[in-house]
Chains A and B, each alone.
Chain A
């Protein structure tokens, strides 16, 4: 009946942190609010003026927060519908730190100080929301939400991201010295009813592990003498995982080293063993199993079958509240293995390579940032052949790369529209040709070559002789460092796409065509971050190719990254997660995944975060423009 209060409640229920509260609680807040109107130009709060008595939430219009320092005006932020201000001064009781001016006719809901203090005392989510950074709380909150959803619907309540290794690891670990005989070791295993033993050296340090599998394969099947020391059949190196790590970490390690046992370390001591079997028992499926499936396949058809499970895997991880970077880590491991397996088939098909070579992934694949099957972006470096060999070597690798391309296509990886693939003769070249490409791009930058360098400079070895890739990177980093002009061109590209900051009608979106009213998350958000971080990495000679790893490596080397690392990481994770969820929904509906999201469909909190993210990107771009000012066109 009382419509105007209902409207107030409805509005509050759409803005954080009130959206996390029960309707009843929101109702109790609504009846305490008042509605104020400020014509454009009104100063609502004055710097060094009396403390704020209210939390102001913008219902309509927009405000600017700015400070005056030595007569100079510094804009701190713009806020619009659904945003709030006045909080810090309200809580601290200190004089307002900044000026707040209405930049349009603005209507605000005012929540009295006392009401806010009560809310914060009673509801930790309200306190946390205001006291922690928005990004931080969002990721945690989302995570908790996803987790609780999962717990409600699924019967599986223990999951990869909440279960620590020690919770499921077998604690019954027995270690034996490395010179113990195989026969004695097998007896110890039988007596204790365990399937593995940790092997320690003379200093008591674990150096390897033996499992039932080793006994089967290396002893029985190989008719080995059981009196040999166990050291001869152990698997090594031994990979460790901390007892406090989440099971997810264990999975990534198993994937990475293609092993099924990890040694669990608790307080620096051997604390147990965790196996792929434990993970299976935990949740009924394991990415490690998919990888084992891939490894077991002897034909393309088999791989096609296995790779179909990947969508389910991503869905599963999303449901469990995995962070985007965790999902891409797993995806990368799996995709890499598919590529490797196919290359092995190619070697089987065409015979051993005439010279060593290295298959490299480019673009997002190179950065380990792939989600759903994306275009093939790859190339091949082979060792410089002798002059008389050149033609035959070229011929071998072209047939070879074409086979890989076709096979990848069958497994659901569409060809690159720009033909940046090893099957293109241009991108299947000897080492010396690659050096020439790179030096040309850097010394005489122009048009297309700058775009190419952005794709190629994220190259990463997938298979073959990794030293070729490493040498090429050494070469690249040695010549690129001080090439201010070339770096200036890259800076230009990195600031070319300004993120939408328009805050009145929320976001600048596509004006026409198929994606009308949608926002291209890749071009407006992800790419600028990737480009900026790549540029910083080239400046500082960083070898890592993934954006997050680059940020970690740059933290201690680059002033800008040192200042903004955490924010950039959150922003990047957030954008990737948004995109991944969007693409997952598309894949489920049988649509080709794309990067166009509809901002209208985002929750207010997501909108708010997207805006924060765009502001951060814009700030970084401004810094870039300042640093490269002479070279920005």
Chain B
């Protein structure tokens, strides 16, 4: 209850605040798999933005010793071998570093609720803290723009970060390490904010509504019809 109350208050603080004046932390994690119970974090990548400006020097990237067995297919995707991971540091201190890096900034990611779920679980387990950041899902914004006819209809079939990036003309050659993915995500976010600007959406509270990761897409659609821009 407490965290929800706190979060509501924070969202309220963003009312009328300009996107261009706001700092964001784009986050991506690499996991051993997608099973929330069995799988764990392999690496965390994050970089900061101010508005749509990506800060090339303000980056965070750590690989950790995984707490669970790595499935074969995720090894291939991440190109990290179990032996390499064995020599990496434990996740506890890394999570602390992560929290210091992102502070209380709005978190931006692709299907960010997955990343947040894993981070939340790990932070609770290792640091005994509740992690419940304000977050924006670029996938939600992307779909919202398609529904609004601001992006072509056929884009609805793009689900992966790579496809989304490609559809917006972003080169995504180095996918699948957490920082490179975060960088591509940041560039997608950059484009999406620009498109929102074209229909005069400039404030963070509007952005939080459109990119809300907690509301399912259909719900989101129902909600947006009540918006009068």
A1 on the interface (CB 8 Å rule)? yes
Q: Do residues B57 and A30 form an inter-chain contact, with CB atoms below 8 A?
A: yes
B residues less than 8 Å from A109 (CB atoms)? 56
* Residue of B52, B56, B179, B190 most packed against chain A (CB within 10 A): B56
The answer to whether A110 and B53 touch (CB under 8 A), given A3-B179, A4-B183, is yes
Query: Which of A35-43, A177-185, A553-561, A586-594 forms contacts with chain B?
Result: A35-43
B146-192 CB contacts (< 8 Å) to partner A: 169, 174, 177, 179-180, 183, 187, 190-191
Measured CA separation A37–B194 after assembly (Å): 8
Q: Do residues A1 and B52 form an inter-chain contact, with CB atoms below 8 A?
A: no
Measured CA separation A122–B188 after assembly (Å): 37
Q: For residue B202, give the distance in angstroms from its CB to the closest CB of chain A.
A: 15
Q: Do residues A36 and B57 form an inter-chain contact, with CB atoms below 8 A?
A: no
The answer to whether A4 and B56 touch (CB under 8 A), given A34-B50, A105-B169, is yes
The 0/1 profile, CB within 8 Å of B marked 1, for residues 98-126 of chain A is 00000001000110000000000000000
A32 on the interface (CB 8 Å rule)? yes
Q: Which of A2, A32, A34, A110 contacts B61 (CB 8 A)?
A: A2
Q: Do residues A3 and B53 form an inter-chain contact, with CB atoms below 8 A?
A: no
Measured CA separation A105–B169 after assembly (Å): 9
B residues less than 8 Å from A31 (CB atoms)? 56-57
Measured CA separation A31–B54 after assembly (Å): 11
Q: For residue B181, give the distance in angstroms from its CB to the closest CB of chain A.
A: 11
A454 on the interface (CB 8 Å rule)? no
Q: Which residue of B lies closest to A37 (CB)?
A: B190
Measured CA separation A31–B59 after assembly (Å): 9
Please tell me the number of chain A residues within 8 Å of chain B, measured between CB atoms: 18
Q: Which residue of A lies closest to B183 (CB)?
A: A4
Q: Do residues A34 and B179 form an inter-chain contact, with CB atoms below 8 A?
A: no
Looking at chain A's contact residues, is the secondary structure mostly helix, strand, loop, or mixed?
mixed
A residues less than 8 Å from B138 (CB atoms)? none
Q: Do residues A5 and B174 form an inter-chain contact, with CB atoms below 8 A?
A: no
B residues less than 8 Å from A4 (CB atoms)? 47, 56, 59, 179-180, 183
B55 on the interface (CB 8 Å rule)? yes
Q: For residue B48, give the distance in angstroms from its CB to the closest CB of chain A.
A: 9
A8 on the interface (CB 8 Å rule)? yes
The answer to whether A3 and B50 touch (CB under 8 A), given A31-B56, A34-B56, A37-B191, is no
Please tell me the number of chain B residues within 8 Å of chain A, measured between CB atoms: 20
Q: Do residues A36 and B52 form an inter-chain contact, with CB atoms below 8 A?
A: yes
Q: For residue B124, give the distance in angstroms from its CB to the closest CB of chain A.
A: 28
A43-76 CB contacts (< 8 Å) to partner B: none
A402 on the interface (CB 8 Å rule)? no
Q: Do residues A34 and B169 form an inter-chain contact, with CB atoms below 8 A?
A: no
Measured CA separation A39–B47 after assembly (Å): 22
Q: Do residues A37 and B187 form an inter-chain contact, with CB atoms below 8 A?
A: yes
* Residue of B50, B57, B191 most packed against chain A (CB within 10 A): B57
Q: Which of B55, B59, B187 contacts A2 (CB 8 A)?
A: B59
B residues less than 8 Å from A595 (CB atoms)? none
A residues less than 8 Å from B53 (CB atoms)? 34-36, 110
Q: For residue B188, give the distance in angstroms from its CB to the closest CB of chain A.
A: 10
Q: Do residues A3 and B177 form an inter-chain contact, with CB atoms below 8 A?
A: yes
A1-16 CB contacts (< 8 Å) to partner B: 1-5, 8
A residues less than 8 Å from B56 (CB atoms)? 4-5, 8, 30-35, 109
B residues less than 8 Å from A33 (CB atoms)? 56-57
Q: Which of B54, B55, B180 contacts A3 (CB 8 A)?
A: B180
A residues less than 8 Å from B57 (CB atoms)? 5, 30-33
B residues less than 8 Å from A34 (CB atoms)? 50, 53-56
Measured CA separation A36–B194 after assembly (Å): 11
B residues less than 8 Å from A30 (CB atoms)? 56-57
Q: Which residue of B lies closest to A34 (CB)?
A: B53
Q: Do residues B179 and A2 form an inter-chain contact, with CB atoms below 8 A?
A: yes
Q: Which residue of B lies closest to A8 (CB)?
A: B56
Q: For residue B87, give the distance in angstroms from its CB to the closest CB of chain A.
A: 13
* Residue of A8, A33, A35 most packed against chain B (CB within 10 A): A35
Measured CA separation A33–B54 after assembly (Å): 8
Known interface pairs A35-B190, A36-B53; 6 further A-B residue pairs with C-beta atoms within 8 A, sorted by A's residue number:
A1-B61, A5-B57, A34-B54, A36-B190, A37-B187, A37-B191
Chain B positions near chain A (C-beta within 8 angstroms) = 47, 50, 52-57, 59, 61, 169, 174, 177, 179-180, 183, 187, 190-191, 194
Query: Ordered nearest first, which 5 A-B pairs have the shortest CB separation?
Result: A31-B57, A35-B54, A34-B53, A37-B190, A33-B56
A-B contact pairs, 19 of them (CB 8 A): A1-B61, A2-B59, A4-B59, A5-B57, A5-B59, A31-B56, A32-B57, A33-B57, A34-B50, A34-B53, A34-B56, A35-B54, A35-B190, A36-B52, A36-B190, A37-B187, A37-B191, A105-B169, A110-B53
